[in-house]
Amino acid sequence: MRAKPAWCRDNCPLGKNRWRQGFAEDSGTADAKLLCIWENPSADDVDKREAASDAMGGLFNGWLRDLGLHRSDVLIANTLRCADPSGASSPKGGFGPCRHWDDKINTYDPNIWGVTYNPSQCLAVPQWRLYVKRAIEMALMYRAEGRRPALLMGTQAMNAFLPHLQGGVGTWKCHFEEKNIGNRASEQVSIRSGGVFQAAKLQ
């Protein structure tokens, strides 16, 4: 397990929190076809020092294959980069400081942002994986148009990067909007696509 960087200990309110352990690097490269931002790493992720390297990451890889993608086509980052071994929810205090480590996200430079469920939530509610796959399909359509799509996977990721959206992922699933990375906290620029999809229609 990688220890928290000194910068985190000095600048983040979670840096000295003994329950928040390790540090998970982003998985993938900035020239990826798609950026996926999850909520926070698992204990396995911080042990292996890479996002989405646990069993959930393996399941996600299968979904990507179903859509004609390889894991190397996707850059996966986390809203928070340290883990709570208990699996507790991510505290909001680390959202801002963790943006210090967004070099790959900034280089990828997303200009259209989508919202969907955190893949780990799909273990509890399997039908939600249909919404995740639909959001990936929509992101790839934007990529084919020359956009650089980012998927915010989970309410905490949505709150960190699109804080003007009120409500949880259930309200905004499969919503996409155009926004340059420097305007994350501004009002919506334009909504390209969105809405609620019935799971039965996605099968």
What per-residue confidence (pLDDT) applies to 184? 47
pTM of the entire predicted model: 0.84
Cα 139 from chain centre: 13
**44 with 106: CB under 8 angstroms?**
no
Q: Which one has a higher pLDDT value, 180 or 189?
A: 180
Please calculate the CA angle 64-25-163 and round it to the nearest 5 degrees: 75
**16 with 9: CB under 8 angstroms?**
yes
In CATH terms, 6-202 corresponds, of 3.40.720, 1.10.3470, 1.10.275, 3.40.470, to 3.40.470
Share of the chain above pLDDT 70, in %: 81
Q: How far apart are CA 100 and CA 186, in angstroms?
A: 19
pLDDT band at 89, cuts 50/70/90? low
**23 with 82: CB under 8 angstroms?**
yes
Instruction: Kindly state the average pLDDT of the residues 110-138.
Output: 91
Closest CA to 109 of 146, 156, 79, 62: 146
Question: What are the DSSP calls for 19-44, one per residue?
Answer: TSB---B-BS-TT-SEEEEES---HH
Per-residue CA distances from 32 to 11, 73, 100, 150, 165 (Å): 30, 5, 20, 11, 26
Domain boundaries along the sequence of the chain? 6-202
Q: Residue 103 is encoded by which pair of tokens? A: 């070099």
What average pLDDT does the structure give for the chain? 81
pLDDT tens-place string over residues 15-36: 776 667 788 889 999 999 999 9
pLDDT band at 88, cuts 50/70/90? low
Task: Give the torsion sign (CA, 154, 110, 177, 61).
Answer: negative
Of the listed ranges 55-59, 95-99, 110-114, the one predicted with least confidence: 55-59
pLDDT tens-place string over residues 128-144: 989 999 999 999 999 99
Q: How far apart are CA 50 and CA 77, in angstroms?
A: 9
